Amino acid sequence: MYEEFKKRRLELQKSLEEIAEKTKIKKQCLQLIEEGRFDELPIEVYTRAYIKTYANILGVDPTQILKDYEEYLKTKKQNIQSVEPKYETQLKDEQKIESIKNFSGKKKASSIKLPAWSITAGIILVVIIILILFIKSEKKEHEIPPPVTEKIVSEKTKIQEKVGQIEQKENISSNQQNLKIEAIDKVWMRITLDDKERREFLLNPGQKVELQANKSFKLHIGNAGGVKVFFNNKEMGKLGEIGQVIYLTLPQDKN
C-alpha cells in the first residue's frame, strides 16, 4: 500500500521537498513512509499523524498503510516479549552466583581470629579517646561566652542576607515566562526553552507539564487537538485538529 503514496505523488508532479514544505514534515520521514521503512520512523503517535497528514495531501486513503503499520508494531512487541524471559533467567543466574560469592566471603571473614594483643590495644585506644573528649568538654564549660552584641549583629546580618536572597528570587521569577500543557489525548511534543534547552514529552490523557523560561518557548506538537496550552496563566484556545502537527512560538510575534 505504501507504494501508492509515491505513485500518487509522481502523478501530481510533486517533489518531496514541496510536500515537506507544505506539511512541515521532514523530507526523510516522507521518503521512509513511501518505502515502508517503519522501523526508522519516529514514535507511534508521531508516525500515525505523519501518515494521515501525507495521505490527506495526496488524496489517498490511509487505512491500509495504517493497518500495515499496526501489524509491524504488533510483531515488534512480540519479538521483545520473546527476548525478556531469556534476560530474566540470565539475571537470576547472575544473582545466584553473586549471593554465593557474598556468603563465601562472609564465611571466610568469620573464620579469621584476632590475636589477644590486638583486642587489648583496641580497648586502650577507646579509653584514650573517651578521656580526650571528656577533657575537651570540661574546657568548653569554663570558656567565657562571646559578648551578646556580637551575636545580635551576626543574626541581623544573616536576616539581611536571607531577605536579599528572597528579593532576588522574586525579581527573577517575575520576569519568567510560564507554560502549562494539559493532555486530553495521547500526544508527543518537543519544547525548546530560550533557544537553548530542548525537551521531549509523550503524554497520556490527564497528564500535565509545567515549564518556565526567561524569554520564550518554541513548541512542536504532533497532535494539536489533543492538548490545552496555558501561557502565563491564559489559555491559548483551540490550536488545531486531532492528528494535526503544528509549530508555535510563545510569546507570539507582534508583527
User: For residues 170 and 166, what is the distance between their CA atoms, to the nearest angstrom?
Assistant: 6
Residues 11 and 98 in one domain: yes
Q: Is residue 144 part of a domain?
A: no
- What pTM was estimated for this model as a whole? 0.36
Q: Which three cell numbers stand for residue 79?
A: 519479538
- For the stretch 69-101, pLDDT in tens is 898 898 988 887 876 566 566 666 677 667 666
Q: Are 230 and 224 in contact (CB under 8 A)?
A: no
Average pLDDT, the chain: 82
User: For residues 225 and 240, what is the distance between their CA atoms, to the nearest angstrom?
Assistant: 5
Q: Is residue 221 part of a domain?
A: yes
Last residue of a domain, one of 58, 85, 106: 106
Structural domain that includes position 222: 176-250
User: For residues 162 and 165, what is the distance between their CA atoms, to the nearest angstrom?
Assistant: 5
Give me the CATH number covering residue 43. 1.10.260.40
Last residue of a domain, one of 60, 78, 106: 106
Residues 190 and 91 in one domain: no
Give me the CATH number covering residue 219. 2.60.40
Q: Is residue 30 part of a domain?
A: yes
In the prediction, which pLDDT does 113 show?
Answer: 61
Domain count along the chain: 2
- For the stretch 177-229, pLDDT in tens is 999 999 999 999 999 999 989 999 999 999 999 999 999 999 999 999 999 99
Q: Where are the beta strands (DSSP E) in the chain?
A: 177-183, 187-193, 197-203, 208-213, 217-221, 227-231, 234-235, 246-250
Residues 102 and 187 in one domain: no
Last residue of a domain, one of 106, 137, 156: 106
